[in-house]
């Protein structure tokens, strides 16, 4: 099975385990879309995700806070969470307002680990 399909399966499981998740996109650290579970905007979200990952990693290095795990943005209409899925992939997850953030973080990290394992097997 190809990388895109296996990553999409991980993202589908995330949506099934976390009812407030409204979509997700996985991309390379260069911003190229790997898989998308969103209605639209996947390519633009992928490019922005890669940029935010780079900024987040740079901030952590500059401040000595360790390796990047996640970045969470809280908005008036929901959340966007970004997870490092190994060294080469970024997982971006959208969730609606009222989301259980603890569950989002737990399941987002679990999915990112699954995506990282898929990517490691494919390379």
Instruction: Please give the backbone phi and psi of residue 40, each rounded to the nearest 5 degrees, phi first.
Output: -155, 170
CATH 3.90.480.20 for domain 3-122: no
- Classify 61 as helix, strand or coil: helix
3-state secondary structure of 96: coil
pLDDT (average), residues 51-74 = 95
**pLDDT at residue 78 greater than cutoff 80:** yes
User: How far apart are alpha carbons 69 and 82 in whole angstroms?
Assistant: 8
Q: Note the pLDDT tens digit of each residue in 12-23.
A: 999 999 999 999
Question: What's the CA gap between 29 and 47, in Å, rounded?
Answer: 9
The pTM for the full model equals 0.93
- The 10s digit of each residue's pLDDT in 24-61 is 999 999 999 999 998 877 789 999 999 999 999 999 99
Q: At what angle do helices 3-17 and 101-122 cross, to 10 degrees?
A: 160
Of residues 47, 50, 29, 27, the one with CA closest to residue 37: 27
Chain segment 98-112, per-residue pLDDT in tens: 999 999 999 999 999
Share of residues in the chain with pLDDT > 70 (%): 100
């Amino acid at each position: 099975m190809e990388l895109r399909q296996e990553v999409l399966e991980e993202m589908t499981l995330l949506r099934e385990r976390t009812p407030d998740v409204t979509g997700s996109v996985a991309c390379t650290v260069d911003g190229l879309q790997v898989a998308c579970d969103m209605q639209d905007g996947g390519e633009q979200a992928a490019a922005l995700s890669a940029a935010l990952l780079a900024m987040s990693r740079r901030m952590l290095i500059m401040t000595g806070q360790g390796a990047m795990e996640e970045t969470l943005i809280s908005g008036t209409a929901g959340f966007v969470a970004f997870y490092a899925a190994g060294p080469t992939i970024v997982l971006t997850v959208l969730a609606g307002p009222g989301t259980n953030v603890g569950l989002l973080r737990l399941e987002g990290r679990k999915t990112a680990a699954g995506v990282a394992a898929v990517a490691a097997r494919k390379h």
